[in-house]
């Protein structure tokens, strides 16, 4: 029995994207899958997933959260390989993935694009589980801000929710609710969106959120 780690890294720019790699070597050379690989003997699981991500895509994430462990005896045709899956979020505009050891190339794909790629092993199941977790967490934790640039338009935040949840939201209530938390700060800078009037950009006050959270505050967006 062997132990592996795999990473679902979500990036966002207009749409939700997932970081994928193409395998450099046999078996499954050229196949597309999530970045990941075997855990070394003296390495923690958290260290292993960071190392694999770095080696295969050049990315370093501040935070990867353990998602679920996939251990069906049939998940890999080679031998019994159990995989501890992690997920993480990045501002896509900040990072440029590249191939490395074991991976020929690394790139971002939208959820729609992934569907036609036939990911290797049970990686589509892993991705689906991560998506489920992301959607659930988006409604009670401020993780959407990790996907946006530091300064963003309110319309960008709204679009992120619509895009990730995959359903329309009540725009007026959404704005009212988000603003009621008093967690967004105006930057004083306005930006033009398309043909519209310049709109205010915001930053998320993480420090204030952490304080509120310590006092039992729960973000309930819907």
Structure tokens at 21: 């790699």
154 binds its own copies per the rule CB under 8 A: no
Minimum distance of its own copies from residue 198's CB (angstroms): 36
Minimum distance of its own copies from residue 41's CB (angstroms): 6
Contact 126, 6 (CB under 8 A): yes
**Where in 27-56 is the site for its own copies (CB under 8 A)?**
39, 41-45
H helices within 61-165, ranges in order?
A: 111-115, 123-138, 144-147, 154-165
What lies within 8 Å, CB to CB, of 168 at 6+ separation is 162
Among 12-20, 63-71, 149-157, 183-191, the segment contacting its own copies (CB under 8 A):
63-71
- Is the Cβ of residue 73 or residue 166 nearer to its own copies in the bound state? 73
Ordered DSSP codes for 140-203: TS-THHHHS-SSEEHHHHHHHHHHHHTS---HHHHHHHHHHTT-EEEEEEEE--TTS--EEEEE
**Where in 67-96 is the site for its own copies (CB under 8 A)?**
68-69, 71-73, 80, 82, 84
Among 66, 93, 128, 173, binds its own copies (CB under 8 A): 66
Whole-number CA gyration radius for the chain: 19
Minimum distance of its own copies from residue 128's CB (angstroms): 15
- Is the Cβ of residue 180 or residue 220 nearer to its own copies in the bound state? 220
Minimum distance of its own copies from residue 42's CB (angstroms): 5
- Is the Cβ of residue 29 or residue 69 nearer to its own copies in the bound state? 69
Q: Is 44 exposed, middle or buried (0-12, 13-18, 19+ CB in 10 A)?
A: exposed
The kind and range of the H/E element at 109 are: strand 103-110
- # chain residues binding its own copies, by CB under 8 A: 21
Whole-angstrom distance, CA of residue 40 vs CA of residue 3? 9
**Where in 2-31 is the site for its own copies (CB under 8 A)?**
2-3
Question: Which residues sit at the interface with its own copies, rule CB under 8 A?
Answer: 1-3, 39, 41-45, 66, 68-69, 71-73, 80, 82, 84, 216, 220, 222
């Amino acid at each position: 029995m062997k132990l592996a780690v795999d990473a679902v890294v979500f990036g966002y720019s207009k749409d939700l994207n997932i970081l994928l790699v193409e395998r450099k070597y046999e078996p499954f050379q050229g196949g597309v899958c999530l970045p990941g690989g075997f855990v070394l003997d003296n390495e923690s699981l958290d260290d292993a997933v960071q190392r694999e991500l770095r080696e295969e895509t050049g990315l370093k994430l501040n935070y990867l959260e353990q998602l679920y462990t996939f251990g069906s005896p049939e998940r890999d045709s080679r031998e019994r390989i159990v995989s501890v899956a992690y997920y993480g979020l990045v501002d896509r505009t900040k990072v440029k993935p590249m191939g490395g050891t074991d991976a020929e190339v690394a790139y971002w794909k939208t959820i729609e694009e992934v569907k036609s790629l036939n990911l290797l092993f049970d990686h589509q199941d892993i991705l689906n589980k991560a998506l489920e977790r992301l959607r659930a967490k988006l409604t009670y934790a401020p993780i959407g801000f990790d996907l946006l640039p530091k300064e963003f338009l309110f319309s960008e935040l709204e679009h992120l929710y619509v895009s990730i949840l995959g359903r329309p939201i009540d725009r007026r209530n959404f704005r009212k609710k988000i603003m009621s938390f008093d967690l967004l700060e105006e930057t004083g800078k306005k930006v033009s969106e398309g043909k519209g009037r310049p709109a205010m950009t915001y930053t998320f006050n993480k420090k204030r959120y952490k304080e509120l959270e310590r006092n039992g505050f729960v973000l309930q967006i819907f």
